[in-house]
Structures are given as structure tokens and as C-alpha cells.
Amino acid sequence: MSHEDFPTENPAVVTCGLPYANGDLHIGHLRTYVGGDIYSRALKRLGQETAFVSGSDMHGTPVAVNAEKEGVTPEEFALRHHETYQETFPKFDVEFDNYGHTHDETNTELTKEIVRTLEAEGYVYEKEIPIAYDPDADQWLPDRYVEGTCPYCGEHARGDECDEGCGRHLEPGEIEAPVSTITGNAAEYRDRSHRFFRVSELQEYLGEFLDRLEGTSNAQNQPREWVEGELQDWCITRDMDWGIDYPGENEDDLVLYVWVDAPIEYISSTKQYTERVGADVFDWEEAWREDGDVVHIIGRDIIQHHTVFWPAMLRATGYVEPRAVMASGFITLNGKGFSTSRNRAVWADEYLEEGFDPALIRYYLATNGGFQQDVDFSWEKFRDRVNNELVGTVGNFLYRSLLFAHREYEGTPDADLSEEVRDRIEGAIDDFAAGVNDYSVREVGNAVVRLAQFGNEYIQQHEPWKLDDGAEKRQVIRDCVQIAKAVAVLFEPVAPGKAELLWDDLNEDGTVHDVGVAAALDAPAASFDEPSELFDKIADERVEELNEKLESRVAATAEETESDESDDESEADVTDELEPLLEDRIGFEEFQELDLRVGEILDAEGIEGADKLAKLTVDIGVEERQIVAGIKQLHDLEDLPGKKVVVVANLEQAELFGVESNGMVLAAGEQADLLTTHDDAEPGTRVK
Ligand SMILES: [Zn+2]
């Protein structure tokens, strides 16, 4: 790539995708923010002038819809969430240099200015397009006010995005078979005049931009098909009240599409930072107008906005293009998607209330996989990583070596740093810098853990406790104190609070947050007190307790909201993990030994005393069967009679919970999705 390595002479801007002011944060949401915070801290440690900015995304239809449900104004609704986010991030040591929101004056003004520039440069035109309209509600249906079918992949899609299918951005009028989410009725398409941004004119530019773009490979590759295919112009106005008014004289009720003003907040937030600290500390105009290195850190569901629409807008209005886009994978909980409506989540507040230090989850999220890979969270895995790596490797090395140094020498013994350890620390600094330049927060974290691992091996190999006081013993301990100091410096991005504690334990001056990587090799303080233990083990009983809490909460929520499961599927970020295919093939004759029949459920009742089991009476044509199935909690039993199912008719009889079971009903997955027939095959028909 054409960019020079970090640190550069240019001001850098690191941004995190704006959280949408619409709900509570769970630890899955934190991945992007923790990643962004680690990345910007690591850049600063390398000596890069850096502003780390973000803000809340206040506009758009989901806020308007939910505010209406609560009977408050969209502004009130969004501000409430904004304030919660603003308070929550620092509790996880995510410390933005500026955190604004898209509805504030800075962003409103800058957005209007940018749109006026787009117009002046000839990039905006007016066109009549079909807009979904709800005649009963007498209302236009922008974005999330309409649902229907994606014209590209045929999946169910919501408003402006195909969130369950191909992930495409959908333009107004594109969604097929539109249905109003206000009344649930079929919507009409009516012609209406809207403003368009000529993205198509920038097609060639965007192709070149993608060649230069750094970051994660998903962000570099995924937009290719959009940019190399037929690039459509982009409708930038919407028929609603909530949003930033389209600038100009005769604009009645058009506001700007939320995806116009949202990314502009990256610039606005940087501008606010400059206004606070002064242009001599950080100059937003230099960063965004001249030669800034801009790194966007986002979730992978918004790659298209950051690699097509946003750079097109920047290019058309004379701003600097992004240098890199890092798009994170999703996060699952015990192998399944987080579901806020099912309360199947570990909430950010909850994590803190359980008394866990932010460093633990930061470390977990940063190092569990590559940034673009999906990461699974479970309390078991969390315990294992904390106990093995943070307690067993990092904490163990620091405590044993610093305690020994304190007891034997009341601090750092008088000796020069050995060549071997100097080389090893320099290697860790190189790995750290390589992590930054490879856009890998995992590597930034792992570089430090490997250094601590080396420290453990080093002290074990030299066994200073067996040595008489002398040059060799002093040398070994001096080396270990230096490694400890290097850990403090290099671990600051991942575990800022813990690094500061270690820095204080080492009796170092000032704060570790202000030092660069070179401080890892500066001579340590001559004296220090007994060290603290940085990390505590998580006990197995704690994990059991936390899992029980999660399970009972999910069950309680399921009871409360049993009837409404419809919008839940779309919320699961990732489907259940699939089992690998079986290696062994079977012959056709073996398959034919299974007697599969179409059945019709005649009756279904729960088995008393059994949590999961239901007794079904199934008509399989030649006879009626009594079959026990583990579906009691997963289906509404009253709804089952009349349903067609597939039955394994020649399965051995069994007794379950004292009830005879004569056959098996086929079902898919943990939710026991019952298999049925597509047409009207009669009960008893052989399935083959
Ligand atoms: Zn689609």
C-alpha cells in the first residue's frame, strides 16, 4: 500500500462507529469501542498525534418510531440514550477525546455546509421517485416505517437495509411488496420529488480509493462488488420531521437521510475537540482538509456506508479520504446471537455491577480472535482467559519478580540491563508497532502477554532465589524489573487502569498514559514498595452463578413476552454455530431402513413433572401413535394439532418419564423447529 507506516508526521483521527441512540449497551456492543480505544492509545504510545472521537447517532426512523411508542419527543428519547452512552464508555476506560452527538449545533451546521458544497459542486439533483405511503395513516413511510422483500436476494428486509439477507443498503422505492410498520397494511408507492447525490460520477475514484484503503480485509474486499457493479446514485432526503433539515429556502418537510449526517459527526466531533484544546494541540482542519490519517473502526454491518457513500461525500466536498477501515466481526453469547428482546445478553452495567474490572473484558474482546472474526463470549471462556493469561502469565510474572526485588533489594538492584532482555523488549515494541500497522488490536495485546511469558521463563530458568547475592542475581532481578516496566508501558492500551497501578507500584513518576513506547527501556526507579496483585482468579462457582443468572433471566423474559417472537430473529446477529458434517457416508439401503412417514398431530399435552417433554398423538395413516417429544417449552402446544410432521415410524419404543413413546418426530436445531410438508401429502405417506 502507498501509506507510510505509523507513526507519521500527520495528525491521525481514530473514530468509532456512532452508537445508535436507541437501546442499552451489552458487552457485544463494546467490541468496536474497546477496539477503537486500544487502537488510538497504541497510536499515541507510538508518538502519533491522535484524536479519538465519536458521538451518538440521534436521527433516523428507529428513534422516531420508538420515541412515539414511549410518547416522548425523538430528541428527548435520543438524548437520554446519548447521556447513558457518554457515562458508560469511560467506565470501560473507553476515553474519547471528544464525544458529541449528531443533533448538536456543530454537526447540524457542518452537515448543512457540506450538503451546500455538494450542491455547489454539481453533485446533487432532484428526481421523482416512488415513495412508500400509508393511506390509512396518511403518512409517508421512510426507511424503517416500511418492510418488505429485498429485490436483490428475496429475503425479508427492513426499510433501508436488507438486514437478514444480503446486507445491502436499499434505496427508497426499492423494497418489494411494501408493508407499513405503522398500520401493518400494504403500502402504496406514490411519486415524490427527492434529492440525489451523484455517487455514480465518483465510480472510478472509488475503485482507486479501494486500492489504497488499508484496514481489515473484509472492508477492503466487500465493497468491490458494489463499486465495480452498476453504482447507483444515493437518495439523501427523507419525508420526516426528525433529522437535520435539508438546507435551502423552500424545503418544507424534507430532512437529510440519517446516513448523511451520521459520519459527518466524525468531523464535527474532531472540530469540537480542537475548539476545546486549541489548534496548536490538535488541528481538525489540517486533519480533515489536508493530510490527516483517518482510521474508522466499525461493525461489519456498516462497511458499505464507510467505503462507498462516505468517501464519495468526502471526495466531492474536498475532505481527506479515510486511510483505513477496520470492520469487526460479530459477537455471540454461548455460541448464539445476543438478543436484546430476549434479554439474552451480558449487559454493560451488569458486568460492572458484578465487580469485574474493565481490563478483563477489554483483554478478552481484543485478543480472542482477529478483529474481523466473530468472537464468542461465555463466562467459562472468560474465566479461562483471565485465569490462564492475565493471572497465570502476566500477573504471576509481575508479582513474583517485583515481590522478590522488593524483598531482596527494596527495588531495582544496581546492574545494567542485559543484552538478551534489551533485545527481547525491543522485539516486543516492534511487535506492538507491527500490530498497529497491521490494524490488529489482538497483536497489540498479544505482544505484551508474550513478553510476560518470556519473563516467567527467564526467572524460572535463572532461579534467582537459589543464587547468593552477587552480580548474577542482581542482573536477573534488574532484567525482570525492566520487563515489568515494559509490560506497564505496552499494556496501557489494553488495560489502562491496571497499567497505571503497575506504574505506581514501580514508583515511576507521572502517569503511564503519557509515556511513549521508548519508556519501556528507560531505567526503572531505584526503590519501590511491595507490589499489588494486579489480577484475581475467577472461581468456578462464580461462573456457575453467572450462568444461572443469565438462564433464569432469559426464561423470565420468555414468559413475559411469549407471544411476541416475530422481531427477534432479525436481532440475532449470528445464527447458531453449525455442526460439522459427518465424515462417514451411508449406503442407500441403509437409508431405506428408516421408515419415515408423514404424520398429523391430533393432540399435544405437556407431561407433568417433566420440564421439556410433551406427549403427542400423531396420525400416521395406518394407525395413531403416542410419541414423546422434547418440545414443551419451545412450542405453543395448543397450536400443534392439525400440523403435519415427519415421523420416524420404526424407531424402537421407549419409555420417557413413565410415558411410552412409539416413534420420533423430526425437528431441527435447539429450538426444535418441526419438519413439515410443503404440499398436502396425506398422513402415512412414506418420506424418501
Ligand atoms: Zn438482500
DSSP for 278-318, please give it.
Answer: -TTT--HHIIIIII-EEEEEEEGGGHHIIIIIHHHHHHHTT
What is the predicted pLDDT for the residue at 565?
A: 44
Per residue in 513-534, pLDDT (tens digit) is: 999 999 999 999 999 999 999 9
Distance 149 CA to ligand 1 centre (A): 8
Distance 304 CA to ligand 1 centre (A): 13
Distance 317 CA to ligand 1 centre (A): 31
What is the predicted pLDDT for the residue at 251?
A: 58
Half-sphere exposure of 316 (CA within 13 A, CB side): 27
Does the global pTM surpass 0.85? no
CA angle 42, 46, 47 (to 5 degrees): 120
What is the predicted pLDDT for the residue at 23?
A: 86
Distance 157 CA to ligand 1 centre (A): 7
Residue 648 CA to residue 495 CA, distance in Å, equals 55
Distance 509 CA to ligand 1 centre (A): 57
Distance 128 CA to ligand 1 centre (A): 24
Distance 634 CA to ligand 1 centre (A): 29
Distance 54 CA to ligand 1 centre (A): 29
Distance 115 CA to ligand 1 centre (A): 29
What is the predicted pLDDT for the residue at 408?
A: 96
Distance 164 CA to ligand 1 centre (A): 7
Distance 544 CA to ligand 1 centre (A): 40
Distance 169 CA to ligand 1 centre (A): 9
Distance 175 CA to ligand 1 centre (A): 10
What is the predicted pLDDT for the residue at 407?
A: 97
Walking along the chain (688 residues) 10 residues at a time, the average pLDDT comes out as 89 97 91 97 98 97 91 96 97 98 98 97 96 92 93 88 83 93 92 95 97 96 89 93 85 86 98 98 98 97 95 98 96 87 91 97 94 93 97 97 97 97 98 98 97 97 94 97 98 98 98 98 97 97 96 88 48 50 79 89 81 85 89 78 91 79 85 84 90
Distance 170 CA to ligand 1 centre (A): 8
Distance 372 CA to ligand 1 centre (A): 22
Distance 159 CA to ligand 1 centre (A): 11
Residue of 506, 533, 409, 526 lying closest to 464 (CA atoms): 409
Distance 168 CA to ligand 1 centre (A): 6
Residue of 189, 187, 144 lying closest to 163 (CA atoms): 144
Three-state SS at 124:
strand
Distance 150 CA to ligand 1 centre (A): 5
Per residue in 58-95, pLDDT (tens digit) is: 999 999 989 999 999 999 999 999 999 999 999 999 99
Distance 156 CA to ligand 1 centre (A): 8
Per residue in 175-229, pLDDT (tens digit) is: 999 999 989 999 999 999 999 999 999 999 999 999 999 999 999 999 998 898 8
Distance 192 CA to ligand 1 centre (A): 24
139-140 and 156-158: which strand pairing? Answer: unpaired
In 572-652, which ranges are continuous DSSP H helix? Answer: 588-592
Cis peptide before 7 (omega within 30 of 0): yes
Residue 239 CA to residue 256 CA, distance in Å, equals 9
Distance 570 CA to ligand 1 centre (A): 13
Distance 377 CA to ligand 1 centre (A): 28
What is the predicted pLDDT for the residue at 672?
A: 80
What is the predicted pLDDT for the residue at 252?
A: 64
35 φ/ψ angles, rounded to the nearest 5 degrees:
-60, -45
Distance 125 CA to ligand 1 centre (A): 27
DSSP states along 9-52:
SS-EEEEEPPPBSSS--BTTTHHHHHHHHHHHHHHHHTT--EEE
Distance 425 CA to ligand 1 centre (A): 50
Distance 134 CA to ligand 1 centre (A): 23
**Contact (Cβ atoms closer than 8 angstroms) between residue 165 and residue 156:** yes
What's the Cα-to-Cα distance from 507 to each of 406, 500, 622, rounded to whole Å? 12, 11, 85
Residue 105 CA to residue 675 CA, distance in Å, equals 56
Distance 85 CA to ligand 1 centre (A): 31
What's the Cα-to-Cα distance from 616 to each of 486, 577, 607, 608, rounded to whole Å? 66, 29, 10, 13
Distance 222 CA to ligand 1 centre (A): 15
What is the predicted pLDDT for the residue at 567?
A: 44
Distance 153 CA to ligand 1 centre (A): 4
What is the predicted pLDDT for the residue at 410?
A: 97
**Contact (Cβ atoms closer than 8 angstroms) between residue 647 and residue 599:** yes
